Structure 1
Amino acid sequence: MHKFIFLNKNIILLLLGQGFSGAVVSLLTFSSGLAGKWLLDGVLYSKTPSCPNCYSSSFATFPISATLCGAFIAVLFSSNLMQKFGRKKVFLWASLIGALGAIFAIFSLINGLFYLFCFATFLLGFFTALNQFYRFLASEALSLATQNDKNRATALIVAGGIMGGVLGPNLANIGTMMFEAPFAGSFLFALLLCVINFIITLPLALTPLKPTNQLPKAPLMTCIKEPNFILATMACAFGFAYMTLIMNAAPLAMSQYKFSYDAAKSVLVWHFIAMYAPSLFLAFFLKSLSPFRLILLGILFYLIAVFVAIFSVSFWGFWVSLVLVGIGWAFSFNGGTFMLNAINSEHKLRLQGLNAISVFGANLLASSSVGFVLANGGWIVLNLILLGFIILFLLAIFIFKRDI
């Protein structure tokens, strides 16, 4: 690997940005559902004395869905905003909105306001949305590099998520009982992470994007019908939706099986490490692994993870399952990203925007169903449903592969 990739200031800043924004994502993953359940337990206990946890389990993931809803709205407008103002300014605005959301979250937890907490996590979604765009910036940070070096830089930037995966759950766990109001300390750390991300974005220097009026106009369907784009987007969207379901369900499911917060934190930390550590491996071996093979490897890990989750609800069952899901996500998501970045098209910015919209749309659907499935079916039923979707996804990618 060329040494300049490691020494490039932009790559280092993007790697740190991926790490700190990823820390907020993993912090929210650990804290939002549990904090939502804590808020709802106090509100709904008197209304449902025969089943005090039924409603809190069903609605506990609403804050997570609110985050993804905010992220989805952000990416809907991201391409146009980045085209008009530049990526750097949009990243700075997102950091400020995220900081405001964290302040609202702290206030809502102190005062026991569930709906305000959902609004706070909605605002934090605008910040987490930018985590999706770091993977696209290697080509702008290294404008004169070869495509292979850009892919290596992309893998290195994605690997910055290792820091986020370790930092976020640990900060969330430390902050859980920091103050009288549970989880208020966790969102204080989220506020600090947003501020740090704002600061490290200031010196970032990227190649300016072409003004919209310099780009050829083309029908939207021309972009959407490109087979490489379809396969890349399917891999990214399905991988993220699957990972979101498992990742957000795990803390609640482990709580149902009477595991401690510390046990749930440990599982999530290793899950996030498994998500991002393979990117370091990919940075060295990209020539021998095509994007399509990476996607297939990801599906293989998904299948093994589902069977582990179905047949074991012990601590190690959760641990192994989530680690395998993380590795599977790393292969399928990186494969999809490499495939998308390799498309030479004047519509590349719009394709990236559509890819991000698809990812967050799938995430929103996935997160919205977590609480309902866990409350009415449980962890094993959730994994049986996912097994069916994995099989459908495997069939779909071979259908689209024929056209590439």
Structure 2
Amino acid sequence: MSVADITVQFDDSRARRNAFILAIGQALYGSATVIMFTTAGLIGVEIAPSKAWATLPISAFVIGTALSTIPAAMLMKRIGRRPGFMLGALGGTIGALVGVYAIYTRSFPLFILATVLQGVYQAFAQHSRFAAADMASPAFRPKVISWVMTGGVAAGLLGTSLVMFTTDLLAPVTFAGCYAAMVVICALAIGVMGFVDIPHKEQSVAAGAVRPLSEILQQPRLLVAMIAATLSYGMMNLVMTAAPIAMIDCGFTTANAAWVIQWHVLAMFVPSFFTGQIIARVGAEKVCATGLIMLGCAAIAGLLGITFGNFAVNLILLGLGWNFGFIGGTTLLTDCYRPAERAKVQGLNDFAVFGTVAVASLTSGKLLYWFGWGSVNIAIFPIVAVALSLILWVTLRRRAIA
């Protein structure tokens, strides 16, 4: 039995229902994020004081997420999951409204504010995967986490479709319609998250003494969980951010880049239909290691050439590696804390994840500009090597103790 299972009342039936609702919420939040990622840089080109600042809205989004992860976790501990999710979606709704106004008035600072608020929404929405595990038994936990992540499949399809249908909806103001659609999506999310059924009293149960964070972090399995989730997300973002720009530089069209990104998003989330079952069968550590190896293979594909096929294989393997590494790390993390320690451990984990993603998003363009597409892929190898070495060390140590 893990430390997460002390004196906790499990209810897999309610966990299954919550996972379904949280997956819908994930689809809505993800659709808003796809719209933002697809259009923010293009809007920045139009309204930023310089094209050099065009990608700043995306960086602001990630930084907004990173800075909000710990406050979001602590607030959910105080008020509960359902109000927390609804509050986050409200922030997203306000951010989308600000985005519409910013586009109409061509105010770059206001648009930055809009993306920061969307980042706050993401900080709350990212807790969906943890919330799904709150009431699930240990054997059922990997499955519900995986089920929630399947919402990303719908997000990839719905978000890109909405961009195509709403870009000129409020012409002549290009992209204002996209953010008007985002207002509707976020408002719907407020209503959907109102059906989450996780009693607050069960989230705040104090099972034994609350350990200091320094003691919790001494668990090798927790370090593996955090490193797998953090580095999988960071490396994925590093390459994904640079890939469309690299494709355009290599003579491909925007439509070519959009097709590759769409398949990348599907590769990120389609495996979620069975990732949980794989984790339950072979263990989270092996799934994390497999994901990291896939990320290394993605980098190799990126270095072998600059054909359309190279870019496609690179991004698809990147998505698969992210899925195994991130979901595997998340599942492993849920076994490493007591119920009363959830908020601070989950908050610290997501701060590490999105802090790393922020650094990756800022670094990606610099590597591409200064050293080229190959350098972006080469940067993955030492990170994969360190992460795999840690997983191997923890596995051998556990066997020695056993």
Pick the TM interval, shorter chain: 0.7 to 0.9
Aligned to 2:4: none
1:60-71 correspondence to structure 2 within 5 Å:
60-71=54-65
Q: For 1:210 and 1:16, locate their aligned partners in 2 and report how far apart those are by CA, in whole Å.
A: 22
Q: For 2:390 and 2:42, locate their aligned partners in 1 and report how far apart those are by CA, in whole Å.
A: 35
Aligned to 1:329: 322
Q: CA deviation at 1:402?
A: 4.5
TM-score calculated relative to the size of structure 2: 0.88
Q: CA deviation at 1:11?
A: 2.3
Work out whether 1:156 is the aligned partner of 2:164: no
Q: For 1:398 and 1:363, locate their aligned partners in 2 and report how far apart those are by CA, in whole Å.
A: 25
Q: CA deviation at 1:122?
A: 0.7
Aligned to 2:331: 338
Aligned to 1:9: 17
Aligned to 1:22: 30
Tell me whether 166-175 or 8-17 shows the greater mean CA deviation. Answer: 166-175
Q: For 1:182 and 1:255, locate their aligned partners in 2 and report how far apart those are by CA, in whole Å.
A: 22
Shift in alpha-carbon separation, 1:174–1:313, aligned structure 2, 3 A: farther
1:168-317 correspondence to structure 2 within 5 Å:
168-178=159-169, 179-208=171-200, 209-211=202-204, 216-317=209-310
Q: CA deviation at 1:298?
A: 0.6
Contact 1:239 1:332 in 2 (8 A): yes
Equivalent position to 1:94, from 58, 69, 88 = 88
1:57-136 correspondence to structure 2 within 5 Å:
58-136=52-130
Contact 1:5 1:11 in 2 (8 A): no
Shift in alpha-carbon separation, 1:392–1:175, aligned structure 2, 3 A: farther
Q: For 1:301 and 1:186, locate their aligned partners in 2 and report how far apart those are by CA, in whole Å.
A: 34
Q: What letter corresponds to residue 175 of structure 1 in structure 2?
A: T
Work out whether 1:377 is the aligned partner of 2:368: no
Cα deviations by residue, 1:102-137 (Å, 9 ceiling, x for unpaired): 122222223332222112101110111223211111
Contact 2:142 2:280 in 1 (8 A): no
Q: For 1:112 and 1:320, locate their aligned partners in 2 and report how far apart those are by CA, in whole Å.
A: 38
Q: For 1:213 and 1:294, locate their aligned partners in 2 and report how far apart those are by CA, in whole Å.
A: 31
Aligned to 2:3: none
Q: CA deviation at 1:39?
A: 3.0
Cα deviations by residue, 1:168-193 (Å, 9 ceiling, x for unpaired): 22322433344323332222222221
Aligned to 1:36: 44
Shift in alpha-carbon separation, 1:20–1:219, aligned structure 2, 3 A: same
Q: CA deviation at 1:210?
A: 4.7
Cα deviations by residue, 1:24-71 (Å, 9 ceiling, x for unpaired): 22222222223223334xx33xxxxxxxxxxx2x43321111111111
Aligned length: 384
Q: For 1:374 and 1:189, locate their aligned partners in 2 and report how far apart those are by CA, in whole Å.
A: 33
Q: Percent identity?
A: 27
Tell me whether 160-169 or 321-330 shows the greater mean CA deviation. Answer: 160-169
Q: For 1:38 and 1:380, locate their aligned partners in 2 and report how far apart those are by CA, in whole Å.
A: 29
User: Matched residue of 1:148: which SS?
Assistant: coil
Contact 1:30 1:268 in 2 (8 A): no
Q: For 1:181 and 1:248, locate their aligned partners in 2 and report how far apart those are by CA, in whole Å.
A: 26
TM-score calculated relative to the size of structure 1: 0.87
Q: What letter corresponds to residue 371 of structure 1 in structure 2?
A: G
Q: CA deviation at 1:337?
A: 1.2
Q: CA deviation at 1:165?
A: 1.9
Gaps of 5+ in 1: 45-55
Q: Please give the root-mean-square deviation of Cα atoms over the aligned residues, in Å.
A: 2.4
